[in-house]
Chain A
């Protein structure tokens, strides 16, 4: 079970710069490790993270094996309108994990 944790302020004034933080539980297996039986553990990392605000992409991250397990990313955006902030993580196996948060802009 993958658990995602996102932090978006519940409310903000229009034009205010807000900080958004997102973290997801994922091993971020690098592909460089060897298991107990001497067999290399296949790579499986989250290679892409996208954040949309009211359907528009505001932040994209391309990730590589040098990102720590349970990837944490913090960034900023301008609060423009009341709406949904959607977070999508995609890993090597093509699996996607989504989380959303609502923000009220006054």
Chain B
């Protein structure tokens, strides 16, 4: 009974309306896709989010990462920034960004003059072969960067447990 009413209502809709309805339904399906399938910010957008649009110059950051890694689940990285690390000239922050992981950010480290040396090491995950960028923010507000491309044979993040 109710089905008949619904069928009748749909049939009685003018052709145009039915199309709009279908387009709307398609839109709902797109919205229902998992969060990670939607656009992640590009590398440039992520960097702009960190710098606030300030220009980034190449140099002053020494960034060590193996060019070829077997296991993307733990990739050792070492960051060194050329800076006197004195009370009025030091590295404020160092950030790591990637090109193709589900999320562009890797880490943001806050340093200060008490660090003595701008040196940080950690281990990161890489989902696939890609470019990794390190950016340092100096106390004078300038940004310096260094990038490295890495080939990954076994990916991280995307494996299923089934």
A residues bordering B, Cβ < 8 Å? 17, 19, 30, 32-36, 38, 40-41, 53, 56, 58-69, 71-78, 80
Q: A33-B157, A35-B161, A77-B115 are in contact. Are A61 and B110 (CB under 8 A)?
A: yes
Please tell me if the beta carbons of A75 and B119 are within 8 angstroms of each other in the complex: yes
CB distance from B10 to the nearest CB of A (A): 33
Please tell me if the beta carbons of B160 and A61 are within 8 angstroms of each other in the complex: no
Please tell me if the beta carbons of B114 and A58 are within 8 angstroms of each other in the complex: yes
A16 closest partner in B (C-beta): B116
| A92 to B73 Cα, complex, angstroms | 20
Please tell me if the beta carbons of A74 and B124 are within 8 angstroms of each other in the complex: no
Please tell me if the beta carbons of B120 and A73 are within 8 angstroms of each other in the complex: yes
| A35 to B159 Cα, complex, angstroms | 10
| A-B CB contact pairs (8 Å), 15 listed | A38-B162, A41-B161, A58-B115, A62-B108, A64-B106, A65-B157, A66-B101, A66-B105, A66-B157, A67-B123, A74-B119, A74-B122, A75-B111, A77-B115, A77-B116
CB distance from A75 to the nearest CB of B (A): 5
Please tell me if the beta carbons of B117 and A69 are within 8 angstroms of each other in the complex: no
Please tell me if the beta carbons of B120 and A75 are within 8 angstroms of each other in the complex: yes
Please tell me if the beta carbons of B98 and A66 are within 8 angstroms of each other in the complex: yes
User: Which residues from A are CB-within-8-Å of B54?
Assistant: none
| A66 to B110 Cα, complex, angstroms | 18
| A82 to B102 Cα, complex, angstroms | 44
User: Which residues from A are CB-within-8-Å of B102?
Assistant: 30, 32, 65
| A65 to B158 Cα, complex, angstroms | 12
